[in-house]
């Protein structure tokens, strides 16, 4: 599954959105239960990554250093969790359980 290249020098956000759409189509076709949870989690992380990248790009464009640092940190955390979840369905299940605990802690 080769990723689409940014050969047209598109705006970076448009290119990343195309990548999300490309990967989303691939992940949405996953049917097996354990792998469906994994695909759903990865798709959610990809969407969060796109949002963080957009915030980073906007912060950098407007010279907002603190917001750029915060967005870069978010991207790093999303990358770590994405790599962790992509290794196995078991890792994804642990990630989802941790996310559930985080959400329940906010209630």
Reported as a single tens digit per residue, the pLDDT across 13-59 is: 677 777 777 766 666 666 665 677 888 888 889 889 888 988 998 89
The pLDDT-based confidence of 7 (bands split at 50, 70, 90) is low
**What pLDDT is stored for residue 97 in this prediction?**
93
Q: Which of 3-40 are b and which e, b meaning 16 or more Cβ less than 10 Å from the residue's Cβ?
A: eeeeeeeeeeeebbeebbeebeeebeebeeeeeebbbe
Across the chain, mean pLDDT equals 81
> What is the pTM for the complete model shown?
0.70
Q: Which of 6-10, 33-37, 43-47, 64-68 has the highest mean pLDDT?
A: 64-68
């Amino acid at each position: 599954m080769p990723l689409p290249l940014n050969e047209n020098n598109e705006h970076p956000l448009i290119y990343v959105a195309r990548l999300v759409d490309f990967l989303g189509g691939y992940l949405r076709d996953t049917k097996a239960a354990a792998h469906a949870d994994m695909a759903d989690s990865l798709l959610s992380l990809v969407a969060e990554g796109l949002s963080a990248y957009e915030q980073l790009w906007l912060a950098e464009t407007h010279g907002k250093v603190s917001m750029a640092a915060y967005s870069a940190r978010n991207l790093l955390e999303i990358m770590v969790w994405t790599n962790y979840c992509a290794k196995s369905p078991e890792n994804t299940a642990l990630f989802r359980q941790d996310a559930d605990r985080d959400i329940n802690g906010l209630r």
